[in-house]
Structure 1
């Protein structure tokens, strides 16, 4: 069940990214690609969409893990 703590950690990291959005293009923090670093507008759009997509993916991953964890624990009894 090692995936559950890692999913929770990544979900918390997504929340941190959401609240601490890098406003200026930099080389250390944020979703960095050649296209996103090309101009400020691309940078801002990429940061917001990255966090949104990351949270959706991690939500799905957490639901699946909880489902299988409950299914396994119920089958033991």
Structure 2
């Protein structure tokens, strides 16, 4: 993950608590690390989309990614 100076972002407490619960099922050690990863993934996707023509979305890939991040229950 990227290093350097940091800034704070406020999120609703219930969202923080949900993310905190999800970290128990991931390799992330805390909420900050998990949120940073999610933001990096979103920024990467936006950059990739901006750098090339918009491609068709592969729903299976999206579902697999959401599963890996703990957002979908199997």
TM range (shorter): 0.3 to 0.5
Name the structure with the higher helix share. 1
Larger radius of gyration: 1
Q: TM-score, normalised by structure 1?
A: 0.38
Q: Which has the higher contact order (CA 8 A, sep 6+)?
A: 1
